[in-house]
Structure 1
Amino acid sequence: MASSNNTNNHYALRIVVLTFNRAASLLRLLNSINEAVYYSDAIKLEVWIDRSEDGLVDNLTTKTAQEFVFKYGVYDVIVRQQHAGIYGQWLTSWKPIKNMSEIAVILEDDLTVSPYFYKYLKAVHRKYDNIPEVNGYALQGYSIKHHITDNTVLDGPAGSLVYLYPVLGTWGFSPVTNNWIEFLKWFYSLRGRTNIQPYVPGNIASNWYIFFQRQRKADSMWEMWHIYYAWLNKEFTLYSNFPGHAGLSNSWREAGLHYTSNEGPSNKLLTEWKAEYDNLPERPLHVDIAGKLLMNSTNESIKRQFWKNKRIPSV
């Protein structure tokens, strides 16, 4: 079993799969990865297997990962030496270096991906990585509005292929490299500072996080810190807006840290790539946390107005 060198810069795409003890789910995801389009690009697929708090590893999950054959590039299975938890899985599995050209996408094991997920990621990274406010790319086609009084389904602006939203999507996330590095530096600078809480006013995720804190399960919601960081720094995540909420990923919403039972697929996967999908806008439209289009949202004064009184001192 080889160990992974995350700092290599010779891959066009690094697919980071996070798993623990769901062998069947893992195999379903890996099979969907094998059906995707990669052209002749250099691809690295990594499966990171966590241990239990007691240090045990799930043998069936490990066997499933080790027996899988990836058809398109380098394949690596990494069994962690000790329990990492969801924070450790998300925040330590990919270790980029500044300005590297590699695209990474992080996938939990209860997802499947569209055959065109890499085609999309390749296009949006090329188009938008140089826009400082863009912190990454969500693969999911279905999400909710995070506004605390209206957490119904989030719809993108009509006629817009992509749009920017203040909250990341974790059902397949591809970070912008330099932003991810800065986020990690900031996150680890907070170690031991119990006076900092990642609460974002008006965001329903803050309520979820507080609920988990009361149950002593806040360690299952690493993304609250990313949401908070984006709020502090006026950043957005790019979402696709394909017809019918078709996604580049699909969450099966299986029982685990966030679901008590198997809820089934979140949305349909994008199964056809149309020519018009290649026509990405120069500057994506912005929507606020309630899903409302910010008029003239590419104008800096509008963005400042949106964030007015929402920034608190950084730490």
Structure 2
Amino acid sequence: MNLAPVIIFVYNRPWHTRQVLESLKANTLAGNSKLYIFSDGAKKNAGHNEISWIQEVRELIREDNWCGEVEIIEREQNLGLAQSVISGVSEIISDHGKVIVLEDDLILGKYFLEFLNDGLNEYDTQKEIYGISGYKFQSIKKIQESTFFLPLMSSWGYGTWADRWNSINFSARALQAEINSRHIGKELDFGNIPFYNMLQDQVKGKIDSWAICFYASMFLKKGVFLFPNTSLLRNIGFDGTGIHSGSSIPSHYNSSEKPDEKIEVKRKAVILEGDIVENIKKGTYHSEVKRDGGIMGFLKRRMPPEFIQFARRKLNREIKHPKNEYQFPRYTRTKKQVLGKEFDIPDLASFNFMYREIFVHEIYKFYTGKKAPYIIDGGANIGLSTTYFKKLYPHSKIIAFEPDPEIFEFLRVNIDKFNYKEVNLVNKGLWDKEGELDFWSEGADGGLFTKVDSSNKASVKIETVSLKRFLNQEVDLLKLDIEGAETVVLKDIQHNLDKVKRIFIEYHSFKDKPQNLDEVLNILISAGFRFHINSPGISSKSPFVKLNTYNNMDMQLNIYAFKIY
């Protein structure tokens, strides 16, 4: 097969870039394909963070042989999105006659390259076909035919030919003038997608898009794209990090959680089937975003925890469970499925709270371009957070601390089921020195040192350890959910935080005890962190009247701290 070269345009999103490169490498034709990676230069006003992210991306793209042959083009200047794509595609397509183009925020199914190449080879002489898409717009009904044509294009993973690319007019002003002279502006829109407004915004300089010009040119020439009947990719860019995607989900969005379906391309007459076109048009008004818990439900699954509010942790009334689970007695051993494995759990209520926080709301989610980030999991409990980190970064190196001997046994059993590499489990409590302390075991996720809160009697003595010796390398995430010991630990390591990039702290305020939130925040500020705070659980609606308490705590805060430069 005559394979088209693949082009990826990258800038400053290392985590997203890794996802697209790893999914590309997993494609069946990757080993026989040539990959061109265009890395745009920093903007003139780029700050230290942006420059470091660009450098991280440039190190990442050299990390592996993502395809059979890889050529990297680094721009010294920032061309901007539109000019970077136009010049890059024009350069490569002139040498090869066809290309497959990817954005940096896609996860590809393993047959994506097969479908794109089959389409490019099958329809290369059909001049009215301007491209092959790996993305399928949302439809209200399942489309039975394996492929179909639409009078619009998608820039999320597509292929095209040199003659069609060279026929595109990338002057938005000229395109607008022609469309206005023919009084067909409204016809440019497709269902709920306001293409004419996009074209106007391009002319006004509000957006920097090559794709709207491609579509408008194709529209004026009555061109079409070939689409699969199921999406062969997933877009992961709706997290506020992109140029155009922002944090808004398009109405047409169709998320393919498992885009690994193999779709055969059979040559067919180029006909726009009215029922299919109308099906897709209606789908732009009835996307899965609306059908699947609304926009907030969608965003909670997609976005980093710093920007999404999540359900309260401890208040039963705000958590929905199957009816039979309400009657399940507390602190009774049982089992629940986690990522295809049976987790041993000591308390169903506690498990449900933690699972929802960690896997549904993804409160620990963070982005890095590193393949193997170093994570310290302070307060690992039964292993949900450790398991989540391994799901997020399979090659990560994790040190997980859990002081409670009984809970630690659950942790060990659960983690052993996954046969993880680079996970070190430590049955010690985090403190400011090596030694022993009295510990009250609550039986689930609320055990703590009696030195922190003496309202409960000690049930066991546990070994303690200082974190200092574990901070001798760059720490990508330090998680501290250690039931009141957080201030002591932070004071101990306050002069060792230079290598820590992110910290999650669950801050605890105990009833009738001095509060030390100021100490926590001052340590973070002095170490160069910026922070975001929200209240996950013990939140009192009218605290002047009544304070809610749980395990003798009258307040919990989730503190997300990240470095500023």
Q: Quick check: TM above 0.5?
A: yes
User: Cα gap change, 1:284/1:197 in structure 2, threshold over 3 Å: closer, same or farther?
Assistant: closer
* Deviations, residues 116-152 of structure 1 (Å, cap 9, x unaligned): 11111121112111111100011113x25xxxxxxxx
Question: 5+ unaligned residues in a row in structure 1: which ranges?
Answer: 1-10, 145-152, 294-315
- How far has the Cα of 1:286 moved from its partner? 1.5
Aligned length: 261
User: Greater Rg, structure 1 or structure 2?
Assistant: 2
User: Cα gap change, 1:172/1:269 in structure 2, threshold over 3 Å: closer, same or farther?
Assistant: farther
* Deviations, residues 250-281 of structure 1 (Å, cap 9, x unaligned): 111322222332759832343243xxx43614
User: Which residue does 1:41 correspond to in 2?
Assistant: 32
User: Which residue does 1:12 correspond to in 2?
Assistant: 3
| CA distance in structure 2 between the partners assigned to 1:79 and 1:138 by the alignment | 27
User: Which residue does 2:232 correspond to in 1?
Assistant: 248
Give the 5 Å matches for 1:133-172. Answer: 133-141=128-136, 143=137, 153=139, 158-172=143-157
Q: Alignment partner of 2:6: what SS?
A: strand
Give the 5 Å matches for 1:193-272. Answer: 196=177, 200-202=185-187, 203=189, 204-209=193-198, 212=201, 216-219=205-208, 221-241=209-229, 245=230, 247-254=231-238, 255=240, 256-261=242-247, 266-272=255-261
User: Cα gap change, 1:124/1:82 in structure 2, threshold over 3 Å: closer, same or farther?
Assistant: same
Contact 1:166 1:237 in 2 (8 A): yes
| One-letter code aligned to 2:39 | W
| One-letter code aligned to 1:209 | M
User: Cα gap change, 1:83/1:20 in structure 2, threshold over 3 Å: closer, same or farther?
Assistant: same
User: Which residue does 2:57 correspond to in 1?
Assistant: 64
User: Which residue does 1:296 correspond to in 2?
Assistant: none
User: Cα gap change, 1:40/1:212 in structure 2, threshold over 3 Å: closer, same or farther?
Assistant: closer
| CA distance in structure 2 between the partners assigned to 1:98 and 1:27 by the alignment | 25
Structure 1 moving runs of 4+ over 6 Å? 97-100
| CA distance in structure 2 between the partners assigned to 1:193 and 1:39 by the alignment | 39
Q: 2:116 aligns with which of 114, 121, 128?
A: 121
User: Which residue does 2:158 correspond to in 1?
Assistant: 173
* Deviations, residues 189-244 of structure 1 (Å, cap 9, x unaligned): x488597376743314334416736974132x322211211121110011111xxx
| CA distance in structure 2 between the partners assigned to 1:135 and 1:112 by the alignment | 23
Contact 1:32 1:114 in 2 (8 A): yes
User: Cα gap change, 1:265/1:228 in structure 2, threshold over 3 Å: closer, same or farther?
Assistant: closer
| One-letter code aligned to 2:34 | I
| One-letter code aligned to 2:129 | V
Contact 1:252 1:262 in 2 (8 A): no
Q: Alignment partner of 1:136: what SS?
A: strand
User: Cα gap change, 1:43/1:92 in structure 2, threshold over 3 Å: closer, same or farther?
Assistant: same
User: Which residue does 2:17 correspond to in 1?
Assistant: 26
Identical counterparts, % of pairs: 16
Contact 2:36 2:73 in 1 (8 A): no
Contact 1:14 1:46 in 2 (8 A): no
Q: Alignment partner of 1:178: what SS?
A: helix
User: Cα gap change, 1:93/1:119 in structure 2, threshold over 3 Å: closer, same or farther?
Assistant: same
More strand by share: 2
| CA distance in structure 2 between the partners assigned to 1:61 and 1:110 by the alignment | 15
User: Cα gap change, 1:83/1:40 in structure 2, threshold over 3 Å: closer, same or farther?
Assistant: closer
- How far has the Cα of 1:167 moved from its partner? 0.8
User: Which residue does 2:461 correspond to in 1?
Assistant: none
| CA distance in structure 1 between the partners assigned to 2:118 and 2:153 by the alignment | 19
Contact 1:20 1:58 in 2 (8 A): no
* Deviations, residues 11-32 of structure 1 (Å, cap 9, x unaligned): 8332111122111111111111
Select between 256-265 and 200-209 the one with higher mean Cα deviation. Answer: 256-265
The alignment's C-alpha RMSD in Å is 3.4
* Deviations, residues 292-313 of structure 1 (Å, cap 9, x unaligned): 38xxxxxxxxxxxxxxxxxxxx
Question: 5+ unaligned residues in a row in structure 2: which ranges?
Answer: 280-565
User: Which residue does 2:266 correspond to in 1?
Assistant: 280
Contact 1:250 1:267 in 2 (8 A): yes
| One-letter code aligned to 1:127 | E
User: Cα gap change, 1:228/1:73 in structure 2, threshold over 3 Å: closer, same or farther?
Assistant: same
User: Which residue does 2:434 correspond to in 1?
Assistant: none
| CA distance in structure 2 between the partners assigned to 1:171 and 1:76 by the alignment | 21
Work out which structure has the larger RCO, using CA pairs closer than 8 Å and 6 or more positions apart in sequence.
1
Q: Alignment partner of 1:140: what SS?
A: coil
User: Cα gap change, 1:92/1:99 in structure 2, threshold over 3 Å: closer, same or farther?
Assistant: closer
| CA distance in structure 1 between the partners assigned to 2:152 and 2:39 by the alignment | 25
| One-letter code aligned to 2:10 | T
Q: Alignment partner of 1:91: what SS?
A: helix
